[in-house]
């Protein structure tokens, strides 16, 4: 890969801000926009290595921004030590393994020395066994941060102590509290595939040593794995035990963590636990950062959907497909969730007419579903969209004009116009007849006042009832023609046009009342409103747009 738009890979992992082109004051949303622009080009299925680099850089910055931590660009794995002999800890790892370190846990640009030793560890490794050095360093009474790092590396390489890496890092943090290098090593360790039994135990041990509000920032990746892969009772018990060890944690860190973990938890937790967490968040809603408000809204819709999903599914293949997509979006890692959501769109398009007839009307439950589906689709769309220029109004207007022609030149459109014209003529004739009758009765009123007044009242009441019934029948007729013909024309239109549904509806409203050739475009505003209220059409249009964007 090469070209003017090729990212500056040499800036990773040490300078993620420069890699994303961020400078000055920026926030989570600014970072997300930059990240999305990169992964549209480097999709995980085509460029797995590049995607992993971009994702790792994004997560390091995103975590720091969300929790208000120092940005990674100023917080490398730097230890405070001094000695006559210097060596880099990456060189130490290379010497131990015989090859460049691939694991980010062992990568660092900082300089290292073996404090208190006349000969550096790197030199001694050439002649002495690892177990001898490990035993000697372990018995050393006073240890620097780098000593604990070296012990962690040695322990992970020796068969009898393998898996003790995190234990030594925690021991180091116990002595050198919140030391940046050790802290960052442990945070990266929680991103690894730790066995679930060890993970729960490690989280509890960590809470006893790092018992401040930074615990949530440090361990968030571990909780992600625990909530997705362990029974919920283990997650709940572990979280409760850890939080019992925390002191003076800030509520903003707590809110960030809860809103992060709620998305998968909604599908696994008990209703009581979910309500408790939402109550905690609600009590501090005014303290939420603005970028969390949308996340809260999405989570609240997910909670409402979960409460209604048994009623919604109703043993329908289409509804089960939609349900599975919403669940996958909530519980799978981002790249897997995006792919699963796009696969769902293929299934939904394959249903075609069945998808439109599955949802006969938009009730309150379906309104919430449409909003939820729109938020999820917009989130996925931002990561898969290949921008298509629709800003030229002439192109957009011509497409919408074409749709209006299809709606009114096809058989259903012409029949509907003929019926509405007949109905309008009937309205006029009835109105004129009523006026003539009332005038005649007024002239007779002087000879028979009360009877004439009664006749006038009956005429007015009859006309009122007729106009009410005519309006209702007109609405019924319009709805019938929409479902019998127009919506299928609209569906076919969106097979080759990927404008947003609401934009097309606005365009139809703008054409309402205009005339072209012998056709006058009436009721287009009502058709546009029916389009907006049609959940089946919305889901179909969304699927077409997402698949077009992903291609």
Q: Are residues 41 and 126 in the same domain?
A: no
Q: Are residues 42 and 142 in the same domain?
A: no
Give 183's pLDDT tier (boundaries 50, 70, 90).
Answer: very high
Residue 232 lies in a domain: yes
Residue 277 lies in a domain: no
pLDDT at 100 over 80: no
Mean pLDDT, range 515-535, rounded to an integer: 80
Q: Are residues 442 and 546 in the same domain?
A: yes
DSSP state of 84: S
Domain boundary among 202, 225, 249: 249
Q: How many Å apart are CA 254 and CA 258, to the nearest integer?
A: 6
Q: What's the pLDDT score for residue 209?
A: 95
Q: What is the mean pLDDT of the chain?
A: 80
Q: What's the pLDDT score for residue 466?
A: 61
pLDDT at 167 over 50: yes
Cβ atoms of 425 and 417 closer than 8 Å:
no
Q: At what angle do helices 251-265 and 290-313 cross, to 10 degrees?
A: 30
Residue 66 lies in a domain: yes
Mean pLDDT, range 516-530, rounded to an integer: 78
Q: Are residues 216 and 181 in the same domain?
A: no
Q: Are residues 184 and 214 in the same domain?
A: no
DSSP state of 9: G
Q: How many Å apart are CA 402 and CA 276, to the nearest integer?
A: 53
Tally of structural domains, the chain: 4
Domain boundary among 31, 54, 74: 74
Q: Are residues 45 and 145 in the same domain?
A: no
Domain boundary among 167, 189, 211: 189
pLDDT at 215 over 70: yes
Give DSSP secondary structure letters for 326-371. HHHHHHS-HHHHHHHHHHHHHHHHHHTHHHHHH--S--HHHHHHHH
Q: Are residues 177 and 198 in the same domain?
A: no
Q: Are residues 211 and 92 in the same domain?
A: no
Among residues 131, 52, 45, which one has the least CA distance to residue 339? 45
Residue 343 lies in a domain: no
Task: For 299-313, write each residue's pLDDT tens digit.
Answer: 999 999 999 898 888
CATH assignment of the domain containing 21: 1.10.287
Task: For 224-255, write each residue's pLDDT tens digit.
Answer: 999 999 999 999 999 999 999 998 767 889 99
Q: Are residues 131 and 104 in the same domain?
A: yes
Residue 407 lies in a domain: yes
Cβ atoms of 203 and 219 closer than 8 Å:
yes
Cβ atoms of 62 and 260 closer than 8 Å:
no
Residue 344 lies in a domain: no
Residue 495 lies in a domain: yes
Within 13 Å of residue 418, how many CA atoms lie on the same side as its CB? 7
Contacts 24+ apart (CB under 8 A), 221-227: 221/187, 221/190, 221/191, 222/190, 222/194, 223/257, 223/261, 224/261, 224/264, 225/193, 225/194, 225/196, 225/199, 226/196, 226/199, 226/200, 227/261, 227/264, 227/265, 227/268
Q: Are residues 200 and 125 in the same domain?
A: no
Residue 383 lies in a domain: no
pLDDT at 394 over 50: yes
Question: End-to-end CA distance of the chain, in Å?
Answer: 19
Give DSSP secondary structure letters for 132-149. HHHHHHHH-SS--HHHHH
**Domain enclosing residue 124, as ranges:** 81-189
pLDDT at 112 over 80: no
**Residues of 342-379 as b/e, b for ≥16 C-beta within 10 angstroms?**
bebbebbbebeeebbebbeebeeebebbbebbbbbbeb
Q: What's the pLDDT score for residue 296?
A: 94
Cβ atoms of 468 and 479 closer than 8 Å:
no
Q: Are residues 422 and 516 in the same domain?
A: yes
Q: Are residues 197 and 87 in the same domain?
A: no
């Amino acid at each position: 890969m090469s070209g003017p738009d090729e990212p500056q890979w040499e800036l990773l992992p040490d300078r993620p801000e420069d890699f994303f082109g961020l400078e000055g004051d920026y926030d989570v949303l600014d970072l997300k926009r930059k990240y999305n622009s990169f992964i549209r080009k480097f999709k995980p299925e085509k460029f797995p290595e590049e995607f992993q680099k971009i994702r790792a850089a994004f997560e390091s910055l995103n975590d720091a921004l969300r929790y208000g931590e120092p940005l990674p660009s100023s917080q490398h794995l730097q230890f405070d030590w001094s000695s006559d002999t210097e060596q880099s800890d990456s060189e130490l790892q290379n010497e131990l393994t015989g090859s460049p370190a691939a694991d980010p846990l062992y990568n660092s640009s900082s300089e290292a020395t073996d404090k208190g030793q006349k000969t550096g560890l790197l030199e001694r490794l050439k002649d002495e066994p690892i177990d001898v050095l490990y035993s000697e360093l372990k018995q050393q009474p006073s240890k620097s941060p780098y000593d604990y790092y070296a012990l962690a590396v040695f322990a992970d390489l020796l068969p009898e102590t393998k898996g003790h890496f995190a234990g030594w890092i925690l021991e180091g943090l116990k002595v050198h509290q919140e030391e940046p290098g050790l802290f960052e090593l442990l945070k990266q360790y929680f991103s690894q595939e730790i066995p679930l039994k060890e993970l729960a135990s490690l989280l509890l041990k960590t809470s006893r040593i790092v018992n401040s509000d930074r615990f949530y920032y440090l361990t968030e990746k571990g909780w992600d794995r625990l909530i997705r892969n362990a029974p919920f009772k283990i997650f709940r018990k572990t979280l409760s035990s850890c939080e019992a060890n925390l002191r003076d944690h800030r509520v903003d860190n707590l809110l960030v963590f809860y809103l992060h973990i709620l998305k998968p938890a909604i599908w696994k937790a008990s209703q009581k636990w979910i309500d408790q967490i939402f109550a905690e968040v609600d009590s501090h809603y005014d303290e939420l950062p603005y970028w969390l408000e949308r996340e809260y809204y999405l989570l609240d819709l997910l909670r409402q959907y979960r409460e209604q999903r048994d009623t919604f599914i109703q043993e329908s293949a289409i509804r089960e497909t939609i349900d599975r997509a919403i669940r996958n979006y909530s519980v799978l890692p981002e790249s897997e969730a995006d792919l699963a959501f796009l696969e769902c769109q293929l299934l939904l398009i394959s249903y075609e007419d069945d998808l439109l007839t599955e949802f006969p009307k938009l009730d309150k439950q379906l309104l919430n579903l449409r909003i939820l589906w729109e938020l999820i689709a917009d989130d996925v769309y931002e990561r898969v969209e290949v921008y298509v220029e629709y800003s030229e109004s002439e192109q957009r207007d011509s497409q919408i004009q074409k749709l209006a022609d299809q709606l009114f030149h096809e058989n259903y459109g012409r029949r509907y116009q003929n019926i509405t014209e007949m109905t309008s003529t009937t309205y006029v004739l009835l109105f004129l007849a009523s006026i003539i009758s009332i005038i005649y009765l007024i002239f007779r009123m002087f000879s028979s006042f009360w009877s004439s007044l009664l006749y006038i009242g009956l005429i007015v009441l009859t006309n009122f009832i007729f106009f009410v019934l005519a309006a209702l029948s007109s609405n019924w007729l319009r709805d019938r023609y929409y479902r019998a013909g127009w919506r299928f024309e609209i569906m076919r239109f969106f097979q080759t046009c990927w404008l947003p549904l609401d934009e097309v509806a606005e365009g139809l409203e703008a054409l309402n009342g205009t005339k072209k050739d012998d056709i006058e475009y009436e009721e287009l505003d009502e058709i546009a409103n029916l389009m907006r209220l049609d959940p089946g059409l919305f889901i179909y249009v969304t699927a077409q747009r997402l698949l077009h964007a992903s291609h």
